[in-house]
Structure 1
Amino acid sequence: MEEALTHPSYTDSPSYQRLEFVGDAALGIAISNFIFLTYPDLHPGQLSLLRSTNISTEKLARAAVRHGLYKYVRHNTAALDEKVRDFTLAVQQEADTVVYGGGESVQEGKQVDITHWRRGEENIASVYVDGEFIASSASEHKENAKLHAAKAALEKLSHSNSEFILVNL
């Protein structure tokens, strides 16, 4: 447990990096198996997106914030304190439930497109319904940018009493 909660900047003992390597693989297998068995009709691309969305660094960081695990990470860098504090505040200010994936079907007759491009290290995704821009989002990871854009579009459309639910993110 001590090693699992030790950042590489903490030089007095081994860091979590070797455990992270094994943990990423184990989590990937477990999530892949669950998604594969739970969603037999999804195409491989959809399965991959659902898996990567659920094992992304951001998703796991959110879980660490929700369960207070970030408080126990041993480290020796003030910059990490600042990043963790900012991220924790952002997560705590969000609604209790954050939609990351899934969905039903698009309302009949509506064309939903999610575009993606890169700007430096940032991935940007935009949602269009029938060619009209609805929402956009950016993230370090392509899948997160798409999902956050889809969430923003759903929120915007729900406020205008539309009944759109996106699929094929």
Structure 2
Amino acid sequence: MEASAAELERILCYRFKNRKLLEEALTHSSFTEGVSYERLEFIGDPIISLAISNYLFLAYPNLDPGHLSILRAANISTEKLARVAVRYGLHVFVRHHAQPLMDQVERFVEAVALENPSVVSHGGSVKAPKILADIVESIAGAIYVDVGCDLEKLWKYFRRILEPIVTPGDLEQQPQPVSTLFEICQKRGKHVEFKHVRTKTASIANVFVDGKFIASASSAQKDLAKLEAAKIALDRLASLVPPPTSVKPSSRNIELNFFTDEDGNMSIEAAKHRLHEYCESRRWSKPVYSIEKDSGPSHERRFICSVQITMKEEARILQISGYEKSRVKDAQNSAASMMLVALFEM
């Protein structure tokens, strides 16, 4: 580890007073022989956000809060930070016992190598694995603690890592997903609305077009949740996936506990059970699940499931798909989560 730490210090252009912090920042939770980077990631996440906010506030005195928020989100998104990790090869230093996860990282690294580096990316052909952004945040947290929790000193060392900083001009060249979504829908005479739900651990952004639920995403920060939800909405509109029918349930007494799953997607605890409870309370038929996609080699299957419910009093069928998952059970839970959000937030 000493040789790796020295090499990483050279890459970061920073020598740690306490190398144990760097070692911790590179330890995934699957590596039980060391302390996980989760605590350092916890402090690194908001610290990067604060450092970027401070920089943007001073750099663009005439920019309004809305545009500053968009600019901040572009600079600290999972997609941006993941590419920072790839650019400096930070992923090769991670200690782990999670090869399937690192295989995802390698696929992302290969995809990034084919991208145009001059383009501000809000998402390429392969979704950025969250672990890459986590690494950047945990290293930032490690440096922050090592410099005595001095934000100015952290920025002195870490700004170079985050460069190029996304500027307003960059966003004009490649419109930000939220702006693009509004523009596309406006041209089609459709109304876009974002509805936010705040839980103890995350902010959830739900996208509605003409009152119909389209997409949902979650993040620790509201801006990032909105950004990711807009990306998903654009993907669904582009692929002509029909949005679910608007439903306004009369009963909302079922408690929903939101969380962010291992893929970084919004999910609801025991979603299948909760959806079954809800349908039962409305005297609807049981939800019907179908596998919409089954792909990949036998050792690395990927599934997308949909769920369908029949609303007897309206003689209406509502169907929605979830996110891609590695297990059918998780794919069904994702679909149930999306259905519950559609039912309860419209």
Which of 181, 193, 198 is the equivalent residue of 1:115? 181
Looking at structure 2, the residues matched to 3 and 36 of structure 1 have their Cα atoms a distance apart, in angstroms, of 32
Looking at structure 1, the residues matched to 44 and 170 of structure 2 have their Cα atoms a distance apart, in angstroms, of 31
Partner letter of residue 184 of structure 2? Y
Partner residue of 2:79? 58
What is the deviation of 1:129? 9.8
Unaligned stretches of 5+ residues in structure 2 = 1-21, 122-165, 173-178, 189-214, 218-224, 235-346
Partner residue of 1:156? none
Which of 50, 62, 74 is the equivalent residue of 1:41? 62
Looking at structure 2, the residues matched to 2 and 15 of structure 1 have their Cα atoms a distance apart, in angstroms, of 9
Please tell me whether the aligned partners of residues 53 and 144 of structure 1 are also in contact (alpha carbons under 8 angstroms).
Answer: no
Question: What is the DSSP-based 3-state SS (H/G/I as helix, E as strand, rest coil) of the residue aligned with 1:3?
Answer: helix
Runs of 4+ in 1 over 6 A off after TM superposition: none
Partner residue of 2:40? 19
Partner residue of 1:143? 227
Partner residue of 1:154? none
Q: Deviation digits for residues 83-127 of structure 1, max 9, x if unmatched?
A: 101110111110122225523898xxxxxx6226xxxxxxxxxx5
Q: TM-score w.r.t. structure 1 length? A: 0.64
Question: What is the DSSP-based 3-state SS (H/G/I as helix, E as strand, rest coil) of the residue aligned with 1:128?
Answer: helix
Report the number of matched residues: 128
What is the deviation of 1:51? 1.0
What is the deviation of 1:130? 8.3
Partner letter of residue 57 of structure 2? F
What are the within-5 Å matches in structure 2 for residues 90-129 of structure 1? 90-100=111-121, 102-103=168-169, 114-115=180-181, 128=184
Larger relative contact order (CA 8 Å, sep ≥ 6): 1
Which of 89, 97, 102 is the equivalent residue of 1:68? 89
Partner letter of residue 143 of structure 1? L
Q: What is the RMSD computed on CA atoms of the aligned residues? A: 3.1
Looking at structure 1, the residues matched to 180 and 117 of structure 2 have their Cα atoms a distance apart, in angstroms, of 26
Partner letter of residue 187 of structure 2? G
Alignment CA distance shift 1:97-1:145 (3 Å)? farther
Please tell me whether the aligned partners of residues 120 and 170 of structure 2 are also in contact (alpha carbons under 8 angstroms).
Answer: no
Partner residue of 1:122? none
Partner residue of 1:131? 187
What is the deviation of 1:16? 0.8
What is the deviation of 1:44? 1.1
Looking at structure 2, the residues matched to 63 and 21 of structure 1 have their Cα atoms a distance apart, in angstroms, of 18
Alignment CA distance shift 1:78-1:26 (3 Å)? same
Looking at structure 1, the residues matched to 34 and 52 of structure 2 have their Cα atoms a distance apart, in angstroms, of 30
2:41 equivalent to 1:3: no
Alignment CA distance shift 1:5-1:45 (3 Å)? same
Please tell me whether the aligned partners of residues 8 and 75 of structure 1 are also in contact (alpha carbons under 8 angstroms).
Answer: yes
Question: What is the DSSP-based 3-state SS (H/G/I as helix, E as strand, rest coil) of the residue aligned with 1:84?
Answer: helix
Alignment CA distance shift 1:130-1:52 (3 Å)? closer
Question: What is the DSSP-based 3-state SS (H/G/I as helix, E as strand, rest coil) of the residue aligned with 2:82?
Answer: helix
Question: What is the DSSP-based 3-state SS (H/G/I as helix, E as strand, rest coil) of the residue aligned with 1:54?
Answer: helix
Alignment CA distance shift 1:68-1:76 (3 Å)? same
Q: TM-score w.r.t. structure 2 length? A: 0.33
Unaligned stretches of 5+ residues in structure 1 = 107-112, 117-126, 133-137, 150-169
